[in-house]
Amino acid sequence: MSHHDIEGPPCSHMEHMLHDAADGTGRGLRLWYALHHAARCGRCGRFLSRLRETLSAMRQAKPEPEADAMARLKAGRWRDEMSAEE
Amino acid sequence: MLPNVFRRQTPVHKPRFEDVVETELPVLYRTAKRLTMNDSEAEDLVGQTLYLAARAWPTFDGAYPRSWMIKILRNEHLGRRKKADNRPEVALDDVAEPSHDGYWQAIDWGIVGQEVVRALDFLPEDYRMAVALCDVEGLTRQEVADALGVPEGTVNSRLHRGRNLLRARLVALLGDAAPQGAHP
């Protein structure tokens, strides 16, 4: 079954495959089927494109840790442990 | 996915610990922040993780250092929480149940990435960590499974459920601000 409208949830049997297609873990026939279905089903097509946008936004929005904290951690007591090994 | 016994038979060139720290420190810090929700606790947790990792480094085979260090970090966090046993944690009941109204379609309008990342902090820990490690930090599902000490299938279900909870949170955060009829 596929939907002509774009509002509403994706087809329930497709949701896992759409998640996998969106984040790049989908492979082979499952990926082909997900993309093929999404191209014809309005809801699944919109779901896939929105999920991809959201994942892309998350990957690009990694907050940079505070520089002072990084410097303190790089000079932390783990260095003593490594020196003791040598 | 191959079981671990096959997956890790290839000899691995073991990097220097200092180089691993340089590469993984931001990931560890962000992960600690997601676990503790607090800057100073996160720094302390990462400091202890590095110390424990440095001690265990001679016995580590060098494969997948990121998930190995996240596992140490998470175990340390769980140990501390067990001792304190008073940390308020986001419960699943506190999170809006994903409704089907609007679904992902209700979001966007030029989502600002930081909003998405902030919305992550409102998810229960199990879901928050699966989404953060896979979708923000880019670990594979197998690496996340190793880091969290759960089967890969559990990571898959937490990931899918976590994304749906995140969507519900974003709809709540952005829905009111979104112009009506602005869906492309």
Report ipTM (2 d.p.): 0.83
Q: Do A58 and B138 touch (CB under 8 A)?
A: no
Do B48 and B67 fall into the same domain? yes
DSSP A66: P
> Across residues B16-26, what is the average pLDDT?
93
Do B51 and B102 fall into the same domain? no
On the question of pLDDT at A43 being above 70, the answer is yes
A62 within some domain: yes
> Across residues B24-48, what is the average pLDDT?
94
On the question of pLDDT at B94 being above 90, the answer is no
Domain extent at residue A48: 12-85
Per-residue pLDDT tens for B160-181? 999 989 888 877 776 654 433 3
A27 within some domain: yes
How far from chain centre, in Å, is Cα B44? Answer: 18
Confidence of residue B184 (pLDDT cuts 50, 70, 90): very low
**Cα→Cα distances B110→A23, A57, A66, Å:** 19, 10, 27
Amino acid at B4: N
Do B72 and B141 fall into the same domain? no
In this structure, of A7-11, B82-86, B156-160, the range with the lowest mean pLDDT score is: B82-86
- Give the residue from A21, A22, A11 showing the smallest Cα distance to A44: A11
Do B140 and B111 fall into the same domain? yes
Computed over every residue of chain A, the mean pLDDT equals: 87
Do B107 and B162 fall into the same domain? yes
A63 within some domain: yes
In this structure, of A13-17, B63-67, B97-101, the range with the lowest mean pLDDT score is: B97-101
Do B41 and B63 fall into the same domain? yes
A6 within some domain: no
Do B49 and B122 fall into the same domain? no
B183 within some domain: no
* Whole-angstrom distance, CA of residue B116 vs CA of residue B126: 17
Domain count, chain A: 1
A57 within some domain: yes
Do B68 and B99 fall into the same domain? no
B9 within some domain: yes
Domain count, chain B: 2
Domain extent at residue B26: 4-84
A64 within some domain: yes
Do B142 and B159 fall into the same domain? yes
* Whole-angstrom distance, CA of residue B118 vs CA of residue B113: 9
Question: Residues 6 or more apart from A74 whose CB is under 8 A from it?
Answer: B21, B22, B25
On the question of pLDDT at B107 being above 70, the answer is no
B179 within some domain: no
Angle at B7 (CA atoms; ends B45, B63), nearest 5 degrees: 35
A5 within some domain: no
Instruction: Supply the CATH number for residue B137's domain.
Output: 1.10.10.10
Instruction: Please identify, among B30, B49, B84, the residue that sits at the C-terminal boundary of a domain.
Output: B84
- Give the distance from residue A12's alpha carbon to the nearest chain B alpha carbon, in angstroms: 11
> Across residues B147-168, what is the average pLDDT?
92
Do B118 and B140 fall into the same domain? yes
Instruction: Supply the CATH number for residue B80's domain.
Output: 1.10.1740
Do B102 and B165 fall into the same domain? yes
Q: Which of residues 134-153 of B touch A (CB under 8 A)?
A: 134-138, 140-141
B48 within some domain: yes
Per-residue pLDDT tens for B53-81? 999 999 998 889 999 999 999 999 999 98
Residues of A in contact with B160 (CB under 8 A): 15-16, 19
Q: Do A73 and B156 touch (CB under 8 A)?
A: no
**Cα→Cα distances B50→B29, B30, B53, B62, B78, Å:** 11, 14, 5, 15, 16
Amino acid at B170: L
Q: Which of residues 20-79 of A touch B (CB under 8 A)?
A: 23, 25, 43, 46-47, 50-51, 53-55, 57-66, 69-70, 72-74, 76-79
> Across residues A45-60, what is the average pLDDT?
88
Do B71 and B111 fall into the same domain? no
pLDDT at A34: 96
In this structure, of A53-62, B29-38, B93-102, the range with the lowest mean pLDDT score is: B93-102
Mutate to test the interface with B, among A19, A55, A60, A73 (most CBs of B within 10 A): A73
pLDDT at B116: 82
> Across residues A10-17, what is the average pLDDT?
92
* Whole-angstrom distance, CA of residue A6 vs CA of residue B77: 43
Computed over every residue of chain B, the mean pLDDT equals: 81
